[in-house]
């Protein structure tokens, strides 16, 4: 059987760049989670800071690794005598432990900032404050309630739902970072600096492949629409209120998109 020339070239290119792509996936997994990954190949340096502008293309794949512990817990509990309420609570806890509540912290900071800041300068100041206010606490409560209730409502064997939501959520980071400039120093500058269409397209191709793997699942189209609409509305809102993005704003957008996907799957 003769392999088509375009397919052969694609396989050759992927094979040539496999060590780099694997290293980028590992870097994204370590940064966005608490998972203790060992060194994966010669190109992978666990001590080096992630090359955000380039490595964001592998964030959807890293999101699957980050979602693995929670998906494993959900799988173990699917046939257990625990009620759906308890199983969902344990699954949400496993996910939070795996991520270290990294983006949840950003959502709390952003909620306090937009509730208490009258202008862009003040909002950025509030986001840098590590203390949590009433609006941040309420945002976390709403987020965790939505996540928990959605998992309760979904079939206990719909193990693909949570990883899919996490993949869509982290894909939103590449969208917002590609559409808007950074408005603060630090991570936001690194993520947005030099990020071109290649990283965005790479992330989108991976996302499309993952969605194609479960295309027959009910509610997938609604979930995709909900994710795209949410991230575009969030980007437009940030442009209007702040003129750009920051690390906390990227994390907050991730949480909003995750919640939108889960709600869309429930509402199918």
Span 232-237, average pLDDT:
94
145 CB-near residues (< 8 Å, 6+ apart) = none
Mean pLDDT of the chain: 81
In this predicted structure, the answer to whether residue 10 has a pLDDT above a threshold of 50 is: no
Confirm if 102 and 32 have CB atoms less than 8 A apart: yes
Span 187-196, average pLDDT:
51
In this predicted structure, the answer to whether residue 228 has a pLDDT above a threshold of 80 is: yes
Domain extents in the chain: 56-266
pTM of the model: 0.83
For residue 140, what pLDDT is reported? 93
Tokens of 151: 């998992």
CA 214 to chain centroid, in Å, comes to: 18
pLDDT tens sequence across 37-85: 888 878 888 888 888 777 887 888 888 889 999 989 988 888 888 888 8
Quote the strand ranges of the chain, DSSP E.
none
For residue 246, what pLDDT is reported? 87
| pLDDT band with cut points at 50, 70 and 90 for residue 143 | very high
Can you say whether residue 4 is alpha, beta or left, with left for phi > 0 and alpha for psi between -120 and 50 degrees? beta
Confirm if 107 and 251 have CB atoms less than 8 A apart: yes
| pLDDT band with cut points at 50, 70 and 90 for residue 194 | very low
Tokens of 158: 């719909």
Can you say whether residue 6 is alpha, beta or left, with left for phi > 0 and alpha for psi between -120 and 50 degrees? alpha
Q: How far apart are the C-alpha atoms of 204 and 117, rounded to whole Å? A: 34
Tokens of 214: 């479960």
């Amino acid at each position: 059987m003769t392999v088509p020339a375009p397919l052969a070239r694609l396989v050759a290119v992927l094979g040539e760049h496999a060590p780099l792509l694997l290293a980028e996936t590992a870097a994204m997994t370590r940064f966005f989670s608490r998972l203790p990954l060992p060194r994966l190949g010669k190109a992978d340096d666990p001590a080096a800071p992630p090359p955000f502008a380039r490595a964001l293309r592998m964030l959807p794949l890293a999101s699957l690794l980050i979602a693995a512990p929670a998906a494993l817990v959900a799988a173990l509990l699917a046939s257990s005598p625990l009620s759906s309420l308890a199983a969902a609570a344990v699954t949400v806890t496993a996910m939070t432990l795996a991520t270290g509540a990294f983006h949840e912290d950003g959502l709390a900071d952003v909620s306090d900032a937009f509730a208490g800041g009258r202008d862009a300068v003040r909002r950025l100041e509030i986001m840098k404050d590590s203390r949590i206010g009433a609006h941040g606490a309420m945002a976390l409560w709403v987020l965790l309630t939505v996540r928990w209730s959605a998992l309760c409502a979904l079939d206990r064997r719909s193990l693909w739902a949570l990883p899919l939501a996490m993949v869509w959520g982290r894909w939103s980071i590449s969208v917002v970072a590609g559409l808007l400039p950074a408005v603060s120093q630090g991570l936001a500058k690194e993520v947005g600096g030099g990020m071109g269409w290649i990283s965005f397209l790479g992330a989108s191709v991976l996302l499309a492949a993952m969605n194609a793997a479960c295309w027959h699942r009910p509610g997938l189209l609604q979930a995709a629409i909900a994710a795209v609409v949410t991230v575009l509305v969030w980007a437009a809102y940030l442009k209007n209120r702040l003129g750009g993005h920051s690390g906390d704003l990227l994390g907050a957008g991730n949480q909003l998109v995750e919640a939108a996907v889960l709600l869309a799957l429930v509402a199918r």
